[in-house]
Amino acid sequence: MPKIYLVGKSQRAYAAEALAGAPDRAVVSITAEKRTTPQNAKMWAMLQDVARASPEGRNWTSDTWKAAFMQSLGHQCQFADGLDGSGPFPVGFRSSNLSVQQMRDLIEVIYEYGARHGVEWREAERSGVMA
């Protein structure tokens, strides 16, 4: 079955037709549009700005900041033990699974936190995405 983007009446009609002709036991999944490439670029540029500012003395990597912001929005993060005994590492916080709206929310949370902590934003010039 093809992947169909529902952006108008004709796509909805095509989806209904495809659904009507689907074989028994077929699996159908309807999901929100995934985050965009420009949103992803903006998020990573913002995370670099936050990491550079070291708010509250936190010298975290961009990856750690991403996990913290995603956790603050309720996205679950789990930890697994490293193979070499170096301690736990985070798993399960992939922003590529976020919808466009969830990514907007994440970007807004990063902006809000940065505004409260005096982060100097330079992400627009690096990401190519204006606010």
Q: pLDDT (tens digit, 9 = 90+) per residue, 97-128?
A: 899 999 999 999 999 999 999 999 988 776 66
Across 3-7, 13-17, 71-75, 120-124, which has the greatest mean pLDDT?
13-17
Of 130, 77, 66, whose CA–CA distance to 103 is shortest?
66
Model-wide pTM > 0.75: no
Asked if residue 2 has pLDDT above 80, the reply is no
Asked if residue 57 has pLDDT above 80, the reply is yes
95 burial via Cβ count (<10 Å: 0-12, 13-18, 19+): buried
25 and 37 housed in the same domain: no
Q: Determine the pLDDT at residue 80.
A: 82
Q: For the residues 14-43, what does the mean pLDDT come to?
A: 91
Per the structure, the count of domains in the chain is 2
Binned at pLDDT 50, 70 and 90, residue 129 comes out as low
Full domain range(s) for residue 58:
33-127
105 and 42 housed in the same domain: yes
97 and 60 housed in the same domain: yes
